[in-house]
Amino acid sequence: MLSSFLLGATEGGLFDFDATLPLMAVQVVLLTFILNALFFRPVGKVVEEREAYITTNRAEAKQKLAEVQRLETELREQLKEARLAAQKVINAAEEDSDKLYREALALANSEANASREKARREIDSQRDSAMAELKADADNLGNLIVDRLLASK
């Protein structure tokens, strides 16, 4: 009985081999081709397309990021340069205005000095002439007094 169960010599049994085996094999092979056409190829296409899409997008983003970083450093450099240039301009302008101020101050000083000097000289000369006139008047008066005194005697 055990042998008939094992070998399937009679009807049934666990190890009853028959045409089920090759037909099942054919069925599985067919299923492989059908699933390949309906499942593995289309899904693979979608997944791989997405993977490619993600990869290219990532590469692009990386490239863009690098570009942005490059531009940023470049702009930073430019900003630094511009700042330096502006500082220079400010310094130059400050120096200029300082110079102008000094020049104007010096000019004004010298002009003031000159006009003061001129005024003093004028005052001096007027005083001298006034003194000379006074002296002459005093001399005349003196002479007149002397003449009169002499004449009365």
Please state the closest distance from residue 7 (CB atom) to another protein, in A: 12
Question: What value, to the nearest 5°, has the Cα angle with vertex 135 and ends 131 and 139?
Answer: 170
Sequence length of the chain is: 153
Please state the closest distance from residue 29 (CB atom) to another protein, in A: 7
Specify the DSSP class assigned to residue 9.
-
SS3 of residue 8 by DSSP: coil
| Per-residue mark of binding to another protein, 16-55 (x: CB under 8 A) | xxxxxxxxxx-xxx-xxxxxx-xxx-xxx-xx-xx--x--
Specify the DSSP class assigned to residue 11.
S
For residues 119 and 117, what is the distance between their CA atoms, to the nearest angstrom? Answer: 5
Q: How many residues at the interface with another protein, by CB under 8 A?
A: 38
The residue among 31 and 100 lying less far from another protein, judged by its C-beta, is 31
- The residues that touch another protein, with contacts defined as CB under 8 A, are 1-2, 4-5, 12-25, 27-29, 31-36, 38-40, 42-44, 46-47, 49-50, 53
